[in-house]
Structure 1
Amino acid sequence: MKEYIITVKETNTPAILKFEANHFLTTNTNYEFKNIDEAKASPLAQQLFYLPFVKTVYISGNFIALERFDIVAWEDVQNEVAQQLVEYLNSGAPVIIEEAPATKVAITLYAEVTPNPSVMKFVANKKLVPATFEFKNIDEAQDSELAKALFHFPFVKEVFMDENYISVMKYEVADWNDITMELREMIRVHIAEGKEIVSAQAETTQSNKNPEKQAAIASDDETSQQIIQILEEYVKPAVAMDGGNILFQSYDEELKTVNVILQGACSGCPSSTFTLKNGIETMLKNMMGDKIHEVVAING
């Protein structure tokens, strides 16, 4: 059975709070319920409307967003709501009682070059996965039907997935001009037919690459927390646009060295050293002063 974890995230609208799950809650459809009568198709939404401050319930992909009345502040109730959602989802009760989706899903997929000449990014018009996943070979891809199918192409070296895109790294024997259309169509058809992309058992790259020990250290280390916040806010969105990802690994206070892991298109990219020295390292030095001497990257 899936184990659900809820992360609370603020939105641009103060009255609306987003409760993001680590698994998808719905497929292909977004839902908005204004009251308990409208929520007949969602037992979860109906339960949420018993909370007197809930004004509107939105359910989409891997999150639930709630709009509140002004009678409470989110900071007073958000933890209780998150706990209620975790208990409900882990009970196995249905989120939406929805009709079976059509066999085909409208999907648009386009290929986008990245700074890494060995990696092509395939971007979809919908969210594909709830977190980042990296597969170095077909053995690592046992929990991803799509990744396994991609590895059946002899020229596919690695597969990286995040949000609405899939980055494919190739061996040098193949030329993108010869294989891009074939890969794009294969991925598009797989998604359109509603086939599984990653299973509930698949481990995200965060759980693979960030051991609990490092997480514990980071939670007690103010400098590490500050580095993680800067990477999340300023660096990750930029590297995601290039089809990659960056993870904090550790901070050496004595050497003032930050160790990070590069994934996807960033892993093994010829320009990654330039990006590190002239981008990430410079940014951290400017924002954190003499706490940072160097940033060292490890290819994921």
Structure 2
Amino acid sequence: MFIETETTPNPASLKFLPGRPVMSQGTREFATPEAAEASPLAQAVFDTGEVVNVFFGGDFISVTAAPGVNWSDLKPQVLSILLDHFVSEAPLFAPGTAGDISVPAEDDALLVEENEADADIVSQINELLETRVRPAVAGDGGDIQYRGFKDGVVYLQMQGACSGCPSSTATLKHGIEGLLKHYVPEVVEVRAA
């Protein structure tokens, strides 16, 4: 088995492509060792002691190194863990966890209370995010989560390699905001949630 790696716009993150599906649906982010307990694979990556984020996408895994960690030292460790996992065909999630079933967590709740009159606008925003934004962000090793719309402001949360990326503000403000404003005139601003 061969696992490809790709750099991401976030210099602290690498994208690992095992050449097979990782998640059957949705995405899953592990931002703490405690959260990683739901997945033996994520936990093993965190157990290196040099990782601050693990993100599972449809066909990739993004890993963010802790500040000051050199990828030339960490990359072989992560590759070994991933190879062992995929060759052994071990389950991605521990028994009794939500696994890859989309179950909204408490922190996945909408950031703002939305107005029912904005339902059509929210639908347009979500369609653009799903068809235009999400594939581009996944290409960079991350994902984007819709967190609400109120008074012309769209609230979004970057995940995976995109979370904490130096260019994430530019992506939100110049890329996504411009796209949403163009197609949905009611959008006046995009903010990070």
Same-fold status (TM-score > 0.5): yes
Q: Could you tell me which residue of structure 1 aligns to residue 13 of structure 2?
A: 119
Q: Could you tell me which residue of structure 1 aligns to residue 139 of structure 2?
A: 241
Tell me by how many angstroms 1:128 deviates. Answer: 1.4
Alpha-carbon distance in structure 2 between the residues aligned to 1:217 and 1:297: 20
Tell me by how many angstroms 1:164 deviates. Answer: 1.2
Alpha-carbon distance in structure 2 between the residues aligned to 1:168 and 1:155: 10
Q: Structure 2 stretches of 5 or more lacking a match?
A: none
Tell me by how many angstroms 1:108 deviates. Answer: 2.7
Alpha-carbon distance in structure 2 between the residues aligned to 1:195 and 1:218: 44
Tell me by how many angstroms 1:218 deviates. Answer: 7.5
Rate the CA distance shift 1:137–1:111 in 2: closer, same or farther, 3 A. same
SS of the equivalent of 2:144 reads strand
Alignment of 1:208-287 (within 5 A): 208=105, 209-211=107-109, 221-252=119-150, 254=151, 256-287=152-183
Alpha-carbon distance in structure 2 between the residues aligned to 1:214 and 1:281: 18
**TM-score of the superposed pair, with normalisation by structure 2:** 0.89
Rate the CA distance shift 1:120–1:218 in 2: closer, same or farther, 3 A. farther
1:112 counterpart letter in structure 2 = E
Q: Could you tell me which residue of structure 1 aligns to residue 61 of structure 2?
A: 166
* Paired positions, count: 189
Task: Decide whether the 8 Å contact of 2:23 with 2:59 is kept in 1.
Answer: yes
Q: Could you tell me which residue of structure 2 aligns to residue 4 of structure 1?
A: none
206-215 vs 152-161, which moves further? 206-215
Tell me by how many angstroms 1:188 deviates. Answer: 1.4
Task: Decide whether the 8 Å contact of 2:29 with 2:55 is kept in 1.
Answer: yes
Alpha-carbon distance in structure 1 between the residues aligned to 2:165 and 2:93: 26
Structure showing greater radius of gyration is 1
Provide the alpha-carbon RMSD of the alignment.
2.4
Task: Decide whether the 8 Å contact of 2:55 with 2:160 is kept in 1.
Answer: yes
Tell me by how many angstroms 1:202 deviates. Answer: 2.7
Alignment of 1:79-158 (within 5 A): 107-130=1-24, 131-158=26-53
2:89 to 170, 174, 194: 194
**TM-score of the superposed pair, with normalisation by structure 1:** 0.58
Residues 64-86 of structure 1, C-alpha deviation per residue, up to 9 Å, x if partnerless? xxxxxxxxxxxxxxxxxxxxxxx
Alpha-carbon distance in structure 1 between the residues aligned to 2:157 and 2:11: 19
Task: Decide whether the 8 Å contact of 1:218 with 1:225 is kept in 2.
Answer: no
Tell me by how many angstroms 1:166 deviates. Answer: 0.7
- Which of 1 and 2 has higher RCO (CA within 8 Å, sep 6+)? 2
Rate the CA distance shift 1:235–1:219 in 2: closer, same or farther, 3 A. farther
Tell me by how many angstroms 1:270 deviates. Answer: 0.5
Tell me by how many angstroms 1:116 deviates. Answer: 0.4
Structure 1 consecutive aligned stretches of length 4 or more whose deviation exceeds 6 Å: 212-220
1:225 counterpart letter in structure 2 = S
Tell me by how many angstroms 1:216 deviates. Answer: 8.6
Alpha-carbon distance in structure 2 between the residues aligned to 1:122 and 1:293: 36
Q: Could you tell me which residue of structure 2 aligns to residue 75 of structure 1?
A: none
Rate the CA distance shift 1:193–1:261 in 2: closer, same or farther, 3 A. same
Q: How much identity, in percent, do the aligned residues show?
A: 33
SS of the equivalent of 1:239 reads helix
Alignment of 1:5-20 (within 5 A): none
